[in-house]
Amino acid sequence: MSADNPAPDAAPPIFSVVLKPHRSLTPSGFVAVMAVMAALSFTAGTIFWSIGAWPVPGFMGLDVLLAYIAFRLNFNAARAAEVIHLDRDRLTMRRIDPKGRSAEVTVNPYWARLEVERHPEFGIVAMAIASHGNRFAVGGFLVPDEREAFAGAFVAALAKARATPLP
């Protein structure tokens, strides 16, 4: 069987999600921000140069370089992801770090549970999938509303997986 044509008895997953950190600045927005910063620094640097403050343009260029480096580090961190896939007989959790390395854990969904840590003011502040004394932290980069939505959907999917009989 090919990947495009799965086996006829292969059931669709009960729950499958890819969690990624949110980044509001698009690549084209990054180019625009850097262009504006460079233009402003160049203009101000030229003015300072013309009045004899020749070291200032170098520091302004350094500011633009440091901003560029900070944005690049932020974009690299956005490559991280968590992939959670639930079938009726297995729960697979894979964490991909910003460098592309991944770690995968597979457990039986019957024994898995979602542990949440709540704060009275902020709601869910931490989540972990636990099974047999092992914990797999999930959704650390999600905002509280997204954690609530994930927790509700995941708990419902776990209940469905447990209620679905194996063949």
Non-local CB neighbours of 48 within 8 Å, separated by 6+ positions: 54, 56, 57, 60
Sheet holding 134-138, edge to edge: 113-119, 123-131, 134-138
Residue 1 has pLDDT above 50, yes or no: no
CATH number for the domain formed by residue range(s) 15-22+80-162: 2.30.29
Say which DSSP state 110 is in.
T
Q: Measured between alpha carbons, how far apart are the two ends of the chain, in Å? A: 21
pLDDT of residue 24: 84
pLDDT tens for 67-125 read 999 999 988 888 899 999 999 889 999 999 988 899 999 999 999 999 999 988 888 88
Collapsed DSSP state (helix, strand, coil) of residue 125: strand
Name which of 126, 135, 127 is nearest 155 in CA terms.
127
| Alpha-carbon gap, residue 69 to 78, rounded angstroms | 14
Burial class (CB in 10 A: 0-12, 13-18, 19+), 51: exposed
Please tell me the pTM assigned to this model: 0.73
| Alpha-carbon gap, residue 49 to 31, rounded angstroms | 26
